Amino acid sequence: MLEEDVTIDSLTIKVLSYNPDADVELLRKAYVFSREAHCSQKRIEGTPYINHPLSVADILADMKVDVATIAAGLLHDTIEDTGTTPRDIKEIFGDEIAFLVESLTKLGKIEFKTKEEAQAENFRKMLLAMSEDIRVIIIKFADRLHNMRTLQFLPENKRRRIATETLEIYAPLANRLGIGWLKIEFEDLSFSILMPELYDELVRKVAKRKEEQEGYLKEVADAVEEKLREEGLHARVSGRVKHYYGIYQKMQRQRITFDQVNDVLGLRIITDSNAACYTIMGIIHSLWTPIPGRFKDYIAMPKSNMYQSLHTSVIGPKGERVEFQIRTEDMHNIAEEGIASHWKYKEKDAMEDRDAKYIAWLRELIQSQKELRDAREFLEEVKGEVVPEVVYVFTPTGEIKELPVGSTPVDFAYDIHTQVGHKCVGAKVNGRIVPLRYQLRNGDTIEIITSPSHGPSRDWLKFVVTQRAKNRIKQWIKSEERKQSSELGMKLLEVELRKHHLKPALLKTEDMDAIAKEFSMQSFDDLLVSVGYGKVSPHQVINRFLPEKPPEEILLREARPRREQKGISIKGIDHILYHTAKCCFPIPGDVLVGFVTRGRGVTIHRRDCPNLESLAIDNARLVDVDWKPGNETTSTARLMVETVDRPGVIADLSALISSVNVNISHFEATTTQDKKAFINFNLEVRDKIQLSGLIQKIAQTEGVLRVRR
């Protein structure tokens, strides 16, 4: 299809061909409006922008949708890219078209930080829009398809990003909605962009295989057709080729080479009734030997995207394998068009049951995504559960359950009820005990054995296949880990309280939720969990209970009075009791000031000690102090070192400090959530010169962010 050839006239002709009563005026109006709105824009390849909405509308017309959808397709980029407002659209084209255009605009608008987040969020928006009107997704599909077809004009990285998104989101979604041709085109276009060499190679090989086998397949097809005519059956036989990405997936999945893929080419028989499908299969099986295990009855048990068909492979003439798909016309339409057939002009009847199922699936997906906060989990869900091939099994009461292939008794148990899953300890299949990792087969009757005291095991995650089971097990494990962390956190806090001679009951009397908020946490339990995990230290929490002491009191209580006068002289006063302040740790070389305390002698501070600010109110109590020259003793200095939290940082610093003959009398370290460590050292130093030298060295150590006294 050449997009360049699409004009409003060719579009109108196409629409009239399947819908002779179509409102051609409306289409033309939408076209003119869109053309005017986009008149100053060009596509990246240099053609007028209107070519894009026209091509989108043309794709929609191929899908034989109603006129409103095609008009919305023509208008789909107007709000997003031009000065057009939703109100303009509403006034000119009415509510229905305005809703479609606006939904599409919303879908494309949001930008996100990460790719996965963007995909998940966009996908959710798409689902929400779809659940109101499925035509939104149909237009979005057409838009994406045209963009994919013209992707060669974009730069490599953009091209790959869009192709990946198409492959991961749009193709599975098209498949889930049963639009087979679209899924195939999405997959093959993405494949050709993401793995061009491989794609080209497959194109060559498939062409060669076709050349080799076409004559043979024709022979088989002729033989079948003749036999069917003899039996008086109406059917048409045609060749089908597996699409490239499908071949690639099969090679990957089964770890085989192209030569080993034997259903690249096959035959498709389309007939007029379900009964005829089975009859034809019987005829084929009587002509050639069927290959065991290759027969699939998707008529009796349709795939979850409503796909129906009989599949079988036989050893044909000359011993070559041939694969057959047998289906009715109606089944074929469903396989090709899926949910899109609902919006097909004049074909709204007899589809309701199927649509109800699609809508139910959508609702389920939207519902399940509410429970999954993590974008990645959500995407896994979308990718994982899109078109699972299913097994049908029975409950002991004969109720039928549909589960993905590979499901185990645990999946079955969670499908019944979350609690049945949690308490599941064993299972009987058809009356016999089986391991929990047993893979269910079609027709199995399953009885789950439960025990009230039992809980799920992490090992189950290795074999369950349904998202429901996975999510429930993960949730249970998370809440169990949380419970344990919370209990541990409580114990740690109690120990810390006792250390400060406080009673554990304090935790019950205080407003602990308010304290949790100070740590930016929702509740006390969250705080306990953080303490249990080691993210918050018990000391940090219990600190809040220790009374804030006025500076003087700190000095009185914590300073150790020293009687010896060596090293310090106080002008005008002799033989006085003094101690150095524990707030600023003065050392020889610092400029000092003394503060006369009541009955406790003089406290020596550094002149620049911040505590002095508050003490200095009473200037009369300050005295001048000097270091005596020739002082041989050491003094305690305190250093605060901020580092990145890496293993060995404390050892490195300790080694460095020892290397300059400085003693560490005490140190404590705390780490923060943003991967920083704060280390406090009490050091025995000679004087300020020695300390300054040391500070410089520490500052040069790898990982050190800041050093201060």
User: Footprint of Mn ion on this chain (CB under 5 A)?
Assistant: 77, 143
Choose between 143 and 185: whose C-beta lies nearer to Mn ion: 143
Task: Please report which helix (H) or strand (E) contains residue 251, including its range.
Answer: helix 244-254
Task: Please report which helix (H) or strand (E) contains residue 30, including its range.
Answer: helix 24-37
Residues 261, 249: Cα–Cα separation, whole Å: 11
Instruction: Give the number of other Cβ atoms within 10 Å of residue 35's Cβ.
Output: 16
Choose between 143 and 590: whose C-beta lies nearer to Mn ion: 143
Tokens representing 610?
A: 């911040």
Angle between helix 196-230 and 274-287 (nearest 10): 90
Nearest approach, Cβ of residue 111 and Mn ion (Å): 16
Cross-strand bridge partners of residue 644: 676
State phi, psi for 187 to the nearest 5 degrees.
-65, -45
Residue 249 contacts residue 291 (beta carbons within 8 Å): no
Nearest approach, Cβ of residue 163 and Mn ion (Å): 16
Nearest approach, Cβ of residue 1 and Mn ion (Å): 17
Choose between 143 and 188: whose C-beta lies nearer to Mn ion: 143
Nearest approach, Cβ of residue 154 and Mn ion (Å): 13
The full length of the chain comes to 709
Nearest approach, Cβ of residue 52 and Mn ion (Å): 6
Choose between 162 and 531: whose C-beta lies nearer to Mn ion: 162
* Residue 304, CA distances (Å) to 384, 403, 651 in order: 13, 10, 61
Choose between 43 and 697: whose C-beta lies nearer to Mn ion: 43
Choose between 107 and 224: whose C-beta lies nearer to Mn ion: 107
Choose between 45 and 518: whose C-beta lies nearer to Mn ion: 45
Asked about 165 being catalytic, the answer comes back as: no
Greatest C-alpha distance within the chain: 131
Choose between 144 and 579: whose C-beta lies nearer to Mn ion: 144
- Spell out the residues 6+ positions from residue 407 whose beta carbon is closer than 8 angstroms to its own: 391, 393, 439, 440, 464, 465, 466
* Residue 703, CA distances (Å) to 216, 297, 353, 643, 667 in order: 72, 65, 66, 5, 18
Choosing from 80, 88, 201, 320, the catalytic residue is 80
Residues 271, 229: Cα–Cα separation, whole Å: 12
Nearest approach, Cβ of residue 190 and Mn ion (Å): 18
Task: Please report which helix (H) or strand (E) contains residue 428, including its range.
Answer: strand 424-429
Residue nearest to Mn ion (CB): 143
Nearest approach, Cβ of residue 148 and Mn ion (Å): 11
Nearest approach, Cβ of residue 147 and Mn ion (Å): 7
Nearest approach, Cβ of residue 108 and Mn ion (Å): 8
Cross-strand bridge partners of residue 588: 590
Cα atoms in the 13 Å half-sphere on the side-chain side of 687? 14
Give every strand in the sheet of 578-580, ordered side by side: 568-570, 622-627, 592-596, 602-606, 578-580
Cross-strand bridge partners of residue 323: 266, 313
**Please, what sign has the CA dihedral across residues 374, 377, 379, 382?**
negative
**Please, what sign has the CA dihedral across residues 42, 45, 46, 49?**
negative
Asked about 415 being catalytic, the answer comes back as: no
Choosing from 23, 62, 81, 447, the catalytic residue is 81
Choose between 70 and 657: whose C-beta lies nearer to Mn ion: 70
Give the residue ranges of DSSP H helices in 440-559. Answer: 467-499, 506-509, 512-518, 524-533, 538-542, 551-558
The secondary structure of 287-331 as a DSSP string is HSEEPTT--EETTTS--TT----EEEEEE-GGG-EEEEEEEEHHH
Choose between 77 and 590: whose C-beta lies nearer to Mn ion: 77
Nearest approach, Cβ of residue 399 and Mn ion (Å): 46
Nearest approach, Cβ of residue 704 and Mn ion (Å): 53
Choose between 41 and 663: whose C-beta lies nearer to Mn ion: 41
Amino acid in the structure at residue 680: N
Residue 46 contacts residue 64 (beta carbons within 8 Å): no
Tokens representing 400?
A: 């039928």
Residues 55, 677: Cα–Cα separation, whole Å: 60
Residues 417, 410: Cα–Cα separation, whole Å: 11
* The pairing of beta strand 296-297 with beta strand 310-315: antiparallel
Residues 175, 186: Cα–Cα separation, whole Å: 10
- Spell out the residues 6+ positions from residue 443 whose beta carbon is closer than 8 angstroms to its own: 392, 393, 394
Residues noted as catalytic: 80-81
